[in-house]
Amino acid sequence: MRLLQYSESGELSIHSFDDGAIPPYAILSHTWGVDAEEVTCADLLTGNNKAKRGYKKIRFCGQQARQDGLQYFWVDTCCIDKTDKAELSHAIRSMFRWYHNAKRCYVYLSDVSTRKREFDDMLTGIPHRWEPDFSTSRWFTRGWTLQELLAPSIVEFFSREGKKLGNKKSLKLLIQKITGISHEALNGIPLSQFSVDERLRWKEGRITKHEEDGAYSLQGILDVELAPVYGEGAAGAFKRLWGEIGKLERCIQDIRQADPRDDKKRIKETKGGLLADSYRWVLDNITFRQWQEDQDSRLLWVKGDPGKGKTMLLCGIVNELQDSMPQNALLSYFFCQATDSRINNATAVLRGLLYMLVDQRPSLAVHVRKKHNRAGRSLFDDANAWVALTEIFADVLRDGSLGTTYMIVDALDECVTDLPKLLGFVAKQSSASPRVKWIVSSRNWPAIEEELERAEHKTRLSLELNAESVAAAVKVFIQQKVDQLAQEKRYKPEIKDAVLQHLTSNANDTFLWVALVCQNLQGTPKWNVLGKLALFPPGLDSLYQRMMHHISVSDSAKICLRVLAVTAVLYRPVTIAELVALVKQLEDVDDLESVQEIIGLCGSFLTLRENTVYFVHQSAKDFLFAQASDKIFLDSAEQVHWEIFLKSLAILTRTLHRDMYGLKALGSPVKNAEPPNPDPLVESRYPCVYWIDHLCDSKTKSLADRGSNLQARGVVFEFLKKKYLYWLEGLSLYKSVGKGVVSMAKLLSLVQVWHTESVYSYSEGWTI
């Protein structure tokens, strides 16, 4: 980028700077006069044509910049060498960014005068107003000036005498009236938050000298890049612009696997809502403040035992940052959950973080588009997705337009697949840039500590070492929960006091323990509360143990344990309809209410939200595997996987057929495929995506279980023979083709294992 500078003696000079080393500068916005009177790059380099009228606005810009403490300034007439085609093309593509990055933009209005005022005042005694001239100024009718108004954060307007008229914020009512652009856009809200149609409306009626510029001048406003091809005409330029907008939209849609904002909302609600007074302590915590204020503190690791409130703390921190960060800062976050295969792996974490960044600032998609244009959606979910995502992510974090950026990842310990890779990535990237600040949270796992140790600028916030603050936060939580219970269940004061007392003395600074006991008390009649209190032992595991015992001795033990066993090995939370289809024992329970009741009986471990069954907490699932596996899985977890695999293929064989959504036209885009009502595939969504995973995690890999292997081969062969294409159609309707491809690769490996273990038999002759 070239910049101008006036020396102390008033000498004008021009300097070139590389992208990473551009000093602070002011920028001029104006409308062109007669070409011959504008100062060109050649004029400056040769020192010719010093009498051109165009020097007036250059002098104005230089003086104003100096007054504002800026040494350098940029003027389009002479800072671009328009005779050099490559430079012109680069400048057109960079212009929005140059205006955006300028410290101040001065709009020089050569057709608005303030001096006229004094003259008119003398003649008529009526004060002259510059506003009418301002409203009809040529500046508001030109194409390129739209981005010059929108891109910089400070835009100041000057009359032809160089008198300041105001800025885009102080004049926003007037500017809105003239341009139809909303206050929010003039106040600097990211343009990506306005629809493409609205942004295009702002451009209506504006003209450009070259017809193609109508489209080229919109690229920054619409977050796309368009290399200029003068001569293609307006139609050609707009056609390419639409094409780029379409590609950008597809790219952002393809990155999106799940929106972390929705996951955060869901997690917060499933955990009973966020209590601000139970997390605000962190804002005054010395380690947290150091992370926030110190440039050299880039990675904060929040660590603590299960149920200490890390996830809720991070939800609170996200809210606080959202409210307090500067407008051009970015915030991206991800909440891992081991029980949900959409959000329990390293690739999903990067994809979620990237989605949030690109969604807030679509111009960052330029780093994704190079690869995405070639690979499409499979870039993010094929076997090489991790490698591609880490490269893209590193480019995004290096982007020059990135200001302060916050990256937050909760529950690293719940990243089931490729955690070491994720830790390595966080350690590396958090050391790379002082502009990017990271917070991660996890349990106190030595393996995580070891990896994060490699980060250069890290601090840690241990909840155990901040026991006093956590204890006070838990106390507030207990008080709020007990008030709520007492009010809803109309406790007498002595019962309320006893509950408060029991919770306070046994919670051991563990939020989750309090939440579980209160959930239990919710279903306890008030006459039984005092008797029941003593049955809630301190410590999470003891509490789970008691809950397990309660389920095991109940009349519904058999069915509840089965529901728990199946739910524990599923790869994502399932809807009630999916659960009923997968659990054989629920087949005869034909009404929804009874199923809900059964799930309620497992209530200490499971919870229902919007018809979907979730584990109350990861620690509940951990407990089932570690300490109750003999009770719930009976034989083994692999056996449960095996049964789900068989059940899945039975469901799919029954439900999959040709053109399940009645689309009729082959090749309809899947995004237009609306499920019929009722949806014929309501039970088969889960089996369609996960049957191979269950097969792989069942016993069939082992030669010892030859019988199962033979049975698996037979069932899989039959299924693929009859339903393979319909299965692909199902995957496509569920937008899970990428996952299907990965699953097929897994199946192929499994077949190869069978083969090498001599289970494969040519005489039966089937191949995959």
Ligand X SMILES: Nc1ncnc2c1ncn2[C@@H]1O[C@H](COP(=O)(O)OP(=O)(O)OP(=O)(O)O)[C@@H](O)[C@H]1O
Extract the tokens encoding 684.
Answer: 């088969």
Pick between residue 480 and residue 596 the one whose CB is nearest to ligand X.
480
Pick between residue 474 and residue 652 the one whose CB is nearest to ligand X.
474
> Does the protein bind ligand X through residue 411 (CB under 6 A)?
yes
Pick between residue 274 and residue 744 the one whose CB is nearest to ligand X.
274
- By CB under 6 A, the residues from 309 to 348 that bind ligand X are 309-312
- How many residues of this chain interact with ligand X, rule: CB under 6 A? 23
> Does the protein bind ligand X through residue 282 (CB under 6 A)?
no
> Does the protein bind ligand X through residue 520 (CB under 6 A)?
no
> Does the protein bind ligand X through residue 306 (CB under 6 A)?
yes
Stretch (H or E) spanning 437: strand 436-442
CB of 410 to ligand X, least distance (A): 7
Pick between residue 165 and residue 426 the one whose CB is nearest to ligand X.
426
* Amino acid residing at 56: K
> Does the protein bind ligand X through residue 252 (CB under 6 A)?
no
User: Please, which residues bridge with residue 12 across strands?
Assistant: 6
* Amino acid residing at 763: S
- By CB under 6 A, the residues from 76 to 135 that bind ligand X are none
CB of 473 to ligand X, least distance (A): 7
Report d(CA 473, CA 307) in Å as an integer: 13
Report d(CA 286, CA 465) in Å as an integer: 12
Pick between residue 109 and residue 515 the one whose CB is nearest to ligand X.
515
Q: How far is C-alpha 95 from the geometric centre of its chain's CA atoms?
A: 28
> Does the protein bind ligand X through residue 511 (CB under 6 A)?
yes
Pick between residue 143 and residue 307 the one whose CB is nearest to ligand X.
307
CB of 302 to ligand X, least distance (A): 9
Q: Kindly indicate which of the ranges 52-60, 219-227, 303-311, 566-574 contains the residues binding ligand X, using the contact rule CB under 6 A.
A: 303-311
Q: Among residues 512, 548, 568, 574, which is the contact residue for ligand X, using CB under 6 A?
A: 512
What CA–CA distances, in Å, run from 629 to 344, 625, 626, 633? 22, 5, 6, 5
Report d(CA 529, CA 536) in Å as an integer: 11
Site string for ligand X, 432-451 (x = CB under 6 A): -----------x--------
Angle between helix axes 557-569 and 540-552 (nearest 10 degrees) is 130
- DSSP helix/strand/coil, 258: coil
> Does the protein bind ligand X through residue 621 (CB under 6 A)?
no
CB of 441 to ligand X, least distance (A): 7
CB of 304 to ligand X, least distance (A): 5
Angle between helix axes 685-697 and 706-733 (nearest 10 degrees) is 150
Tracing tokens 């006091």 back to the chain, one arrives at 497
> Does the protein bind ligand X through residue 308 (CB under 6 A)?
yes
Report d(CA 737, CA 600) in Å as an integer: 35
Which residue minimizes CB distance to ligand X?
511
Q: Among residues 2, 30, 172, 271, which is the contact residue for ligand X, using CB under 6 A?
A: 271
CB of 500 to ligand X, least distance (A): 17
What CA–CA distances, in Å, run from 547 to 474, 557, 749? 22, 12, 41
Q: Among residues 619, 648, 698, 708, which is the contact residue for ligand X, using CB under 6 A?
A: 619
CB of 616 to ligand X, least distance (A): 7
3-state helix, strand, coil in the chain (%, to 5): 60, 10, 35
Report d(CA 175, CA 149) in Å as an integer: 10
What ranges make up the beta strands (E) of 311-396? 330-335
Report d(CA 640, CA 636) in Å as an integer: 7
Extract the tokens encoding 529.
Answer: 């509360």
CB of 555 to ligand X, least distance (A): 29
Pick between residue 220 and residue 309 the one whose CB is nearest to ligand X.
309
Q: Among residues 77, 145, 278, 520, which is the contact residue for ligand X, using CB under 6 A?
A: 278
Preceding omega of 678 cis (within 30 degrees of 0): yes
Q: Kindly indicate which of the ranges 99-107, 166-174, 464-472, 508-516 contains the residues binding ligand X, using the contact rule CB under 6 A.
A: 508-516
Q: Among residues 258, 274, 329, 650, which is the contact residue for ligand X, using CB under 6 A?
A: 274
Pick between residue 397 and residue 516 the one whose CB is nearest to ligand X.
516
> Does the protein bind ligand X through residue 481 (CB under 6 A)?
no
What CA–CA distances, in Å, run from 356 to 213, 255, 256, 265, 761? 31, 10, 9, 15, 50
> Among residues 217, 220, 198, which one has the least CA distance to residue 152?
220
DSSP string for residues in 485-504: HHHHHT--HHHHHHHHHHHH
Residues constituting the chain: 768
> Does the protein bind ligand X through residue 304 (CB under 6 A)?
yes
Q: How far is C-alpha 80 from the geometric centre of its chain's CA atoms?
A: 38
Pick between residue 212 and residue 263 the one whose CB is nearest to ligand X.
263
Q: Kindly indicate which of the ranges 30-38, 173-181, 306-314, 553-561 contains the residues binding ligand X, using the contact rule CB under 6 A.
A: 306-314
Extract the tokens encoding 539.
Answer: 């410590």
Beta strands 72-74 and 2-6: pairing type? antiparallel
Pick between residue 312 and residue 486 the one whose CB is nearest to ligand X.
312
CB of 185 to ligand X, least distance (A): 36
Q: Among residues 28, 175, 515, 688, which is the contact residue for ligand X, using CB under 6 A?
A: 515
Pick between residue 222 and residue 275 the one whose CB is nearest to ligand X.
275
- DSSP helix/strand/coil, 2: strand
> Does the protein bind ligand X through residue 740 (CB under 6 A)?
no
Site string for ligand X, 599-618 (x = CB under 6 A): ------------------xx
Q: Kindly indicate which of the ranges 112-120, 156-164, 273-281, 568-576 contains the residues binding ligand X, using the contact rule CB under 6 A.
A: 273-281
Site string for ligand X, 635-674 (x = CB under 6 A): ----------------------------------------
Pick between residue 619 and residue 684 the one whose CB is nearest to ligand X.
619
Pick between residue 307 and residue 362 the one whose CB is nearest to ligand X.
307
> Among residues 565, 705, 660, which one has the least CA distance to residue 621?
565
Q: What is the CA angle 426-432-433, rounded to 5? A: 110
CB of 280 to ligand X, least distance (A): 9
- DSSP helix/strand/coil, 8: coil
Stretch (H or E) spanning 26: strand 25-29
Phi, psi dihedral angles at 763 (to 5 degrees): -65, -30
CB of 464 to ligand X, least distance (A): 11
Report d(CA 677, CA 679) in Å as an integer: 5
Residues of this chain that interact with ligand X (CB under 6 A) are 271-272, 274-275, 278-279, 304, 306-312, 411, 443, 477, 511-512, 515, 617-619
